[in-house]
Structure 1
C-alpha cells in the first residue's frame, strides 16, 4: 500500500463497557468553561487516578493487542492516553502536533475551525510503510483534527486503522465527516 492508496475498512470490535464507566467515574463537569454557556467535561482526574488509570490502560491494551502496529497521540490530551498504551503494548508512539512544534522534516495538514484554519504536523519518518495505526484523542467534536490526523498518517505511508476517543460530542457531527474506511470508537457519547 502507498500513501495515496486508501486504507481498508476494518471490522470494528466493541470496547468493553467498563472503559466508559471508568471515564465517567473520573470525569468532572465544569460549567461556563472555557466560555459562558459551555459545560466542559474534564478527564484530567482519570489521568491522576493511579491504579484506575493503570487498569484503564491495561484494558485498552488487551483490546488492541495484535490488531495495531503503532499508536498516534494528538496534541495535547491524546498524549497521556497514547504514551502509556504504547508502552504497555511495546509499540511505537507517533506524535501529531500543532504546527510549529516538531523539528523538520514534517508533513502539514490544514483543517477548518469555526472561524479560521489550523494545522497539524507529523514527522513522516516516524510512520512505517503499511503500519496499522490507532489514533487516540480525548474528544471527537467537529472532526477537523481527526481528519487531519488520518490524512497525516496515510500521507506518511501508514494505515489509519482506527480512531479512538474518550468522548464524542454527537451534536457537532464529527463522526459523519470521517472517512468510512476508518473505524471510530468513542467510550462516551454526549
Structure 2
C-alpha cells in the first residue's frame, strides 16, 4: 500500500486541529477544508481504491464524515455503498455494535440485509484514533455475514494505537 506523498502533504496542510473539542484534552482533527476540495476528495478515493485494488466489492462508510469519503470510493470505484449509522437513525431491523471512543461511548448500526454473505468490504472513515469506531464497523460487517477486506482513512492520530487494535486486518491511512 503506497501513499501518494503529494496527497499526504496536501492533507497535512488542509487538516485543521481544534484543541479541547468536543471536550477538554481532545485534539479534534477537522477535515472540512479537505471536503471542500472535490479534487482532493477524488484523489483520496482513488488512493483508497488503489491500496485495496481487487480486494473489495462493497464499501461500508461510517457516519458521519466517513459518508463523504465512502460515497466517493463507491462512485469512483463502481462498488455498492452501505452505511454504518449512529444508533436510532436507520429504519427496519438492524445489527448493532457498541464501542468506546476518546470522549465517551456510542453504538453503530447497519440495516440487516445490507451486507451479503461473502462480500469483501472496505470500511471507510475520515480518521483513525483509538480504533473503537472502526472496530465496531468491522464487527457489523462480520455480523452481516461479510468479511472486512481492510480499513481506509484519510488520517491517523499518532500515539492512540488504533491500527494495532484493528490488526491483523490491513489499515491504509494517507496521513
Q: TM-score, normalised by structure 1?
A: 0.81
Structure 1 residue 127 displacement after superposition: 1.0
Matched-pair contact (CA < 8 Å) for 2:74–2:80: yes
Residue of 48, 52, 59 corresponding to 2:40 = 52
Distance in 2 separating the partners of 1:146 and 1:60: 15
Distance in 2 separating the partners of 1:114 and 1:61: 28
Q: In the alignment, is residue 17 of structure 1 matched against residue 16 of structure 2?
A: no
Relative to 1, partners in 2 of residues 1:17 and 1:33: Cα closer, same or farther, differing over 3 Å? Answer: same
Q: Which runs of 5+ in 2 are unaligned?
A: none
Q: In the alignment, is residue 184 of structure 1 matched against residue 168 of structure 2?
A: no
Matched-pair contact (CA < 8 Å) for 1:68–1:133: yes
Distance in 2 separating the partners of 1:143 and 1:59: 21
CA deviation profile, 1:23-66 (whole Å, cap 9, x unmatched): 21322233443345543321111111133333333343344442
Residues 1-190 of structure 1 aligned to structure 2 (within 5 Å)? 13-113=1-101, 117-180=105-168, 182-188=169-175
Choose between structure 1 and 2 for higher RCO, CA contacts under 8 A separated by at least 6 residues: 1
Matched-pair contact (CA < 8 Å) for 1:96–1:120: yes
How well do the aligned residues superpose, as a CA RMSD in angstroms? 2.1
CA deviation profile, 1:139-189 (whole Å, cap 9, x unmatched): 211221111111110111111010111222232222222242x1112222x
Structure 1 residue 114 displacement after superposition: 5.8
Q: TM-score, normalised by structure 2?
A: 0.87
Aligned residue pairs, count: 175
Distance in 2 separating the partners of 1:122 and 1:79: 13
Q: Which runs of 5+ in 1 are unaligned?
A: 1-12
Q: Structure 1 residue runs of 4+, over 4 Å off?
A: 113-116
| Secondary structure, counterpart of 1:154 in structure 2 | helix
